[in-house]
Amino acid sequence: MKKIILPLIIIATAIYSCGNKDKKATPVAEKPEVKIDSALITDSSWGLITKKTDFAGLQAIYGAANVKDERICGPECADSIDVTIIYPEKNNEFTVYWKDNLYHTAIAFIETYLPDGPYHTANGLKIGSSLEDLLKINGKQIIFSGFDWDYGGSIQDYGMGTLQNSPLGFRLEMTGDGGTELSGDSEFNTEMPEVKKNLTKIKILALTLSFSKG
């Protein structure tokens, strides 16, 4: 009886081993790594930053050496504002404004304005994009304040276009040799002839993402 059982055990062992070899030979497919574009600005994030990111979170993302608190001059230098600069004095610098300057736990908005910066929206808007580009994406007239003063180039309204309720914000500037008639504390819109002829000369000067909306 033992002579019969022993060969059966050997056969069963061989079959089990072959089965295991087949299983090992089939590689397990790895999930592709999802890379986040650190320069992409969406309606709810700036790279890896979300509305829940605090000061410690910024240090974890960018490294403490690249996160610097600074006191800057506010509009018309009427008062000063405490902000946090990311990558200070580099071409990828941007500024974080806080709802609570003392504790740095809630971001109000983020702004970038360096012309060589990498930051962009999903539809390609960035520093240096033209008012013509902005108008195409918005789809409706854009109303903005005149240039050459502290609030110059601020967009007042998007005419109920696609950007009307967007947390993204843009400030404009006049480049080149045109647009002296578009200066001063007055409102202008993209339907005006003097604006239409300068659509490609008016550029995005600053790009912001607000975490206060919505």
Provide φ and ψ at 202, rounded to 5°.
Answer: -85, 120
Amino acid at 29: A
Among 193, 48, 22, 192, which Cα is nearest to 107's? 48
Residue range 71-109, pLDDT digits in tens = 988 766 778 889 999 999 999 999 999 999 888 999 999
Question: Domain residues of the chain, as ranges?
Answer: 47-108, 120-210
Report d(CA 172, CA 167) in Å as an integer: 17
pLDDT tens by residue, 11-40: 444 444 445 444 454 555 555 566 789 999
pLDDT at position 34 is 61
pLDDT digits (tens, 9 = 90+) for 148-199: 998 999 999 999 999 999 999 999 999 987 778 999 999 999 999 999 999 9
Rounded Cα distance between 22 and 13, Å, is 14
Give me 31's structure tokens: 């999930």
Pairing of strands 120-121, 40-41: parallel
Q: What is the pTM of this model?
A: 0.81
Dihedral over Cα of 77, 93, 185, 141: its sign: negative
C-beta of residue 104 within 8 angstroms of C-beta of residue 179: no
With residue 175 as reference, give the H or E element that holds it: none
| Residue 211 vs residues 45, 55, 107: alpha-carbon distances, Å | 9, 15, 6
* Cα–Cα distance for residue pair 37/31, rounded to 1 Å: 18
